[in-house]
Each structure stands twice: as C-alpha cells, then as structure tokens.
Amino acid sequence: MKSKKISTYGLLIALAFILSYIEAMFPLPVPIPGIKLGLANLVVIVALYTMGAKEAFVLSIIRIILVGFTFGSLSTMLFSLAGGLLSWLLMSVLKYIGIFSHVGVSIVGGVSHNIGQIITSILIMENINIIYYLPFLLISGLLCGAVIGIVGGMIIQRIKKP
Amino acid sequence: MIKKNDLILIGVILCICLAAFAIMLLSRKEGSKLIVYLNGEVYKSFPLDEDIEFTVNQEDGSYNTFVIKDGEVDMIDASCPDKLCVKDRSIHYNNETIVCLPNKLVLEIANGVEDDIDMIAR
C-alpha cells in the first residue's frame, strides 16, 4: 500500500469517527426513533468517488466496528452493519452503472441504509408490523441522503484537484 | 451536477411514501388492546380502556415501563442505553408499535376482533 493511500484511509476514518461522535451527541429532534443524518455516510461517499468501491467498503466496516465498540453495543453494531453493507452495495453498483450523479447515489445510500436496518429489526423482533416505520424512514433517508450527497459533492470536487 | 435521473429518483421515492402514508391513513382503526411481545412471543396483553402502569422485568435485569392512559400507550422508562423506545410517540391505532430493540420488546396495538383471528393463525 502506498503511503498516500494509508494516510487517506487514516484521515477519512478519523473524520468518520468524529462525525459519528457529533451525531451521537446531537440527535435530531423528531419523534421517530433511529432517524439520523447519517453524517458518517459523507465519508463513505467521498471514499467511493475519490478512492473506489473496495476502499469505501473497508472504510465502512472499520468505521462501524470502531463506532460500535465506542458509542454503541453489539446489537447496534449489527444494525449498522446491515444498513452499511446494503447501502455500500447499492451505491457501488449505481456509481458503476452511472445513471445517477453523486446526489442520487447518496439518496439511494440513505434510503437503503434504513431499509437494511428495518429488515434486520423485523427479523430480530419477529414482528412484521415494524414495517409501519418504513415510510417515515424512507422520507428521512431521502432528505438526509440528498443533503449528504450535495455536501459530499463539494468535498469530492476539492479533493480531486491536485 | 444533478442529473435528470436524480430528480426522477426523488419523485419515485416521494410517490411511494405518499402512497404508503395514504394507505396507512385510510386503513387505520382505533385499536382495543395492547399486546406485549418479548423475544418475538406474546408476553401479556392489556385492554386499552383501563389505565395502568406496568413494568416488564427480564431475568438479566433489563426492564421496560409503560403506561396506558386515556386509551393511549406510552413507554415511560427503560433500561436500554439509547432510550429510543421512551422517546418514541404514544400509540393507539391498530398495528402501531413501540419497539425496544436492545431488550427485544415490542408494544403492539391490536384490534380486539382481528386479534382473535391472529391468535388462531398463530
């Protein structure tokens, strides 16, 4: 691994870690549980566009494990993992196909993150009625994904310049 | 920067959500009882017309306290670290749930009539 790549990894993981911390400190004031901006997804989007799908995957996994052990528990880690993997998969595929800009890719990332978590909770709780949360989570995934996509785009532009 | 496809995507997701909200709004009925699920199994059920406060204590020391008041169910205390179930809104429509993921506990509103069918199906 080149030293530039190592330092980029370190920088982005540190950034993802800080963003997760900020998010844990200031939850959004909405009455639906589990709605978050997904600030850390910003880093995954930036990594996906500036480094590549494989690097974004490694970064996601390391972030989820680190944040899970620091701020969460084994069960919250499981949910993050389900959401994170599904959103990484869809974002990578869509970026490869190229029908959406980074904003569209980020929206799909936000929405699929929520879908992954809902599916996990339905499986764990063995209760299908949890699906009633889905419309709220779709809307929030859409809004947060769009915000993250737009901000991510600004960062990607600046990073790509030599 | 933003492509036309992005806008189509936003439109499609919004339409799905609107449709889902419309279905939820049109099909919702006042529930008549509360069913408490623990680890995916029915733990206890309560009628919504009696005001009570109840605590579910589990063997590992975790607990969830909820109240039924004026036909609405609300979680008021829990041992879980994130307290998302306590922050959640109160519920009274059929099929609405309050979920506490760490304690694997679900509060679910059921309609008395439909519940009988559910019980047989289970």
Domain holding B49: CATH number?
2.60.320.10
Residues B3 and B40 in one domain: no
Q: DSSP 3-state assignment of B121?
A: helix
Instruction: Tell me whether residues A129 and B95 touch, CB distance under 8 A.
Output: yes
Residues B13 and B67 in one domain: no
Q: What is the pLDDT of residues B22-37, one digit of tens each?
A: 988 888 888 889 999 9
Instruction: Tell me whether residues A121 and B101 touch, CB distance under 8 A.
Output: yes
Q: What is the pLDDT of residues A75-105, one digit of tens each?
A: 788 888 999 999 999 999 999 999 999 999 9
Whole-structure pTM value: 0.83
Residues B23 and B53 in one domain: no
Closest in A101, A108, A127 to B108, CB measured: A127
Domains in chain A with CATH codes: 3-160 (1.10.1760.20)
CA atoms within 13 A on the CB side of A9: 15
Residue among A141, A138, A144, A150 nearest A103 (CA): A150
Q: What is the pLDDT of residues A30-67, one digit of tens each?
A: 666 667 788 888 999 999 999 999 999 999 999 999 88
Residues B55 and B94 in one domain: yes
Count of domains observed in chain B: 2
Q: Which residues of B touch A111 (CB under 8 A)?
A: 13
Q: Which of B16, B36, B93, B99 to mutate to test the interface with A (most CBs of A within 10 A)?
A: B99
Structure tokens that stand for B109 in this block: 């509103």
CA atoms within 13 A on the CB side of A159: 17
User: Which structural domain range is residue B62 located in?
Assistant: 31-121
Residues B56 and B110 in one domain: yes
Is this prediction's ipTM beyond 0.90? no
